[in-house]
């Protein structure tokens, strides 16, 4: 199927070509025609499958200059992201968007709301504006995006209240990665005869993501993490921790080991959070250490690995976390560190996801990888004049083998200084691994 087969405006089809969207994803294929018909829709599809475009493209196509579409989404980060996406899709149609979230100027947002067809808002600030009568909106289209996230974040009552301010005559769309009962109930209250679209029943997680878990002891988390990073050599990874304190600890620890890591959690100022996400998006940061809440739904391209430093407390969070990788048809790897205390939740997760047990790589494994990395790097590097001169001079003193060995040792010394783990301890770890493997 092609985008040109939908009844979308030509400008949109052209834009999609330009930005490299070759064909619609399954949820887009199923939802776009129904939305274009004007029907209410409840759509469920796993994360990273293009739900934003599934509602944005048809709405951009049908919206009239005098009409308004309201999109409600759980976090500021998501609101910004969706706004940018709509702007990108609607560029040729001169679509304007207002992004509405807490912690930023009221006046500017109110002005933007007046002048824009699309309003992308977080529930808190939106309700605040509506209740204080600072704005009055009569949207013809309303989208609840990432509805399950909003439920998790405690926005259910806010959302119900928001709908008291919105005229009944409208088209309403609800998008969600999972469909808890409370969301189903909500959809009955606010949607009219919705069409239900569900993609990927059964296996809930994305098949482009390989999921592994490693059994460890509580005090081994940090070492296991570093060893796995060394072994897997991720280009861009998110490391999820349970608490803000863990996030700070782990990011400091990784920085101490020489990794390019940054923390992201809710106690940080909004500006700082945006800065960190931007740096991560632009490949300036390799490891984002985050709590669930702030990293929810963020769409960063090319995240190669997701690490669960701790398992999340429930299955849906797991699905959302690992959905940060393997996006838009790319491959991803999800790695969870699990202690015996977490086996209960692990077993729950195993019901929806195909997790494979693996062993923590030993120092030897890491060395093998290291050598492969070096061979690859050596192949690519060209000898420069200065280095040739240094080697020529050294040759007066040592033979070539000695020179090469000394250089290699010099290189490794820096690294092993940082890891500083004895082989004995590694062996202990492996033994424990095997013991647990039998236990589960």
Q: Which residues bind ligand ADP (CB under 6 A)?
A: 21, 24-25, 28, 45, 47-53, 299, 301, 327-328
Distance CA 133, CA 128 (A): 8
CB nearer to ligand ADP: pick between 214 and 240: 240
To ligand ADP, the closest distance from the beta carbon of 291 in angstroms equals: 19
Decide if residue 221 touches Mg ion (CB under 5 A).
Answer: no
| Residue 287 interacts with which of Mg ion, ligand ADP, none, CB < 5 to 8 Å by class | none
| Residue 53 interacts with which of Mg ion, ligand ADP, none, CB < 5 to 8 Å by class | ligand ADP
CB nearer to ligand ADP: pick between 194 and 323: 323
Nearest to 258 by CA among 422, 419, 367, 420: 419
Nearest to 78 by CA among 17, 148, 20: 148
To ligand ADP, the closest distance from the beta carbon of 47 in angstroms equals: 4
Distance CA 271, CA 23 (A): 36
CB nearer to ligand ADP: pick between 21 and 287: 21
Q: Where are the alpha helices (DSSP H) in 257-291?
A: 270-281
| Residue 44 interacts with which of Mg ion, ligand ADP, none, CB < 5 to 8 Å by class | none
| Residue 24 interacts with which of Mg ion, ligand ADP, none, CB < 5 to 8 Å by class | ligand ADP
| Residue 25 interacts with which of ligand ADP, Mg ion, none, CB < 5 to 8 Å by class | ligand ADP
Distance CA 164, CA 306 (A): 40
Q: What b/e string do you get for 404-429 counting C-beta neighbours within 10 Å, with b at 16 or more?
A: eeeeeeeeeeeeeeeeeeeeeebeeb
CB nearer to Mg ion: pick between 211 and 299: 299
CB nearer to Mg ion: pick between 135 and 298: 298
> Hey, which residues does 419 pair with through a beta bridge?
none
| Span near Mg ion by CB under 5 A; candidates 45-53, 316-324, 389-397, 421-429 | 45-53
To ligand ADP, the closest distance from the beta carbon of 407 in angstroms equals: 42
| Residues ≥6 apart with Cβ < 8 Å to 164 | none
Distance CA 151, CA 320 (A): 14
Q: Which two tokens stand for residue 371?
A: 């050598």
**Contact string (CB under 5 A) for Mg ion, positions 46-65, x = contact:** -----x--------------
CB nearer to Mg ion: pick between 148 and 230: 148
To ligand ADP, the closest distance from the beta carbon of 180 in angstroms equals: 17
To ligand ADP, the closest distance from the beta carbon of 6 in angstroms equals: 12
In the block, tokens 């969600």 appear at 176
To ligand ADP, the closest distance from the beta carbon of 401 in angstroms equals: 50
Helix or strand holding residue 246 (H, E)? helix 244-256
Q: Does residue 207 sit in helix, strand or coil? A: coil
CB nearer to ligand ADP: pick between 151 and 257: 151
| Residue 234 interacts with which of Mg ion, ligand ADP, none, CB < 5 to 8 Å by class | none
| Residues ≥6 apart with Cβ < 8 Å to 415 | none
Question: In the range 183-202, which residues lie near Mg ion by CB under 5 A?
Answer: none
Residue of minimal CB distance from ligand ADP?
50
Distance CA 32, CA 55 (A): 7
Q: Does residue 143 sit in helix, strand or coil? A: strand
| Residue 156 interacts with which of ligand ADP, Mg ion, none, CB < 5 to 8 Å by class | none
Residue 96: CA count within 13 A, CB half-sphere: 13
Are 244 and 267 in contact, with CB atoms under 8 Å apart? yes
CB nearer to ligand ADP: pick between 328 and 394: 328
To ligand ADP, the closest distance from the beta carbon of 145 in angstroms equals: 7
DSSP string computed for 366-435 = HHHHHHHHHHHHHHHPPPPHHHHHHHHHHHTTS-HHHHHHHHHHHHHHHHHHHH---HHHHHHHHHHHHH
| Residue 83 interacts with which of Mg ion, ligand ADP, none, CB < 5 to 8 Å by class | none
CB nearer to ligand ADP: pick between 29 and 230: 29
- End-to-end C-alpha distance for the chain, whole angstroms: 44
| Residue 49 interacts with which of ligand ADP, Mg ion, none, CB < 5 to 8 Å by class | ligand ADP
DSSP state letter for 5: G
To ligand ADP, the closest distance from the beta carbon of 171 in angstroms equals: 19
CB nearer to Mg ion: pick between 175 and 214: 175
Nearest to 300 by CA among 270, 336, 264: 264
To Mg ion, the closest distance from the beta carbon of 135 in angstroms equals: 25
Distance CA 425, CA 395 (A): 40
* Residue ranges in contact with Mg ion by CB under 5 A: 51
């Amino acid at each position: 199927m092609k985008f040109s087969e939908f009844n979308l405006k030509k400008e949109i089809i052209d834009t999609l070509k330009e930005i490299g969207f070759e064909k619609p994803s399954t949820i887009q294929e199923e939802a776009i025609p129904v939305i274009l018909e004007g029907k209410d829709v409840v759509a469920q599809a796993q994360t990273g499958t293009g739900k934003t475009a599934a509602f944005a493209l048809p709405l951009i196509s049908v919206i009239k200059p005098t009409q308004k579409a309201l999109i409600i989404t759980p976090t500021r980060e998501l609101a910004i992201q969706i706004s940018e996406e709509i702007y990108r899709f609607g560029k040729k149609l001169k679509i304007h968007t207002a992004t509405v979230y807490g912690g930023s100027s009221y006046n500017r947002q109110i002005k933007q709301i007046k002048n824009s067809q699309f309003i992308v808002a977080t529930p808190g600030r939106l309700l605040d504006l509506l209740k204080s009568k600072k704005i009055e909106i009569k949207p013809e289209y309303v989208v609840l995006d990432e509805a399950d996230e909003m439920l998790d974040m405690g926005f259910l009552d806010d959302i119900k209240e928001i709908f008291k301010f919105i005229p009944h005559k409208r088209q309403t769309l609800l998008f969600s990665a999972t469909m808890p009962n409370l969301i189903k109930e909500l959809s009955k209250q606010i949607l009219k005869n919705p069409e239900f679209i569900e993609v990927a029943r059964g296996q809930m997680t994305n098949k482009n993501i390989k999921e592994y878990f490693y059994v460890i002891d509580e005090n081994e988390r940090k070492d296991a993490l570093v060893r796995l990073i060394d072994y897997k050599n991720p280009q861009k990874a998110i490391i999820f921790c349970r608490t803000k304190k863990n996030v700070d600890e782990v990011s400091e620890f990784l920085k101490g080991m020489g990794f390019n890591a940054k923390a992201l959690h809710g106690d940080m100022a909004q500006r700082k959070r945006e800065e960190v996400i931007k740096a991560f998006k632009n490949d300036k940061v390799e490891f984002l250490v985050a709590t669930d809440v702030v990293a929810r739904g963020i769409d960063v391209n090319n995240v190669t690995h997701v690490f669960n430093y701790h398992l999340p407390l429930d299955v849906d969070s797991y699905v959302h976390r690992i959905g940060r990788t393997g996006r838009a048809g790319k491959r991803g790897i999800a790695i969870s560190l699990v202690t015996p205390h977490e086996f209960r939740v692990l077993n729950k997760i195993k019901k929806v996801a195909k997790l494979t047990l693996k062993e923590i790589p030993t120092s030897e494994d890491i060395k093998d990888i290291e050598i492969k990395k070096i061979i690859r790097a050596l192949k690519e590097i060209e000898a420069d004049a200065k280095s040739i001169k240094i080697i020529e001079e050294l040759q007066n003193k040592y033979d070539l083998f000695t020179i090469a060995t000394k250089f290699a040792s010099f290189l490794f010394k820096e690294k092993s200084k940082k890891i500083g783990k004895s082989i004995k301890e590694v062996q202990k770890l492996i033994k424990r691994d095997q013991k647990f493997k039998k236990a589960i």
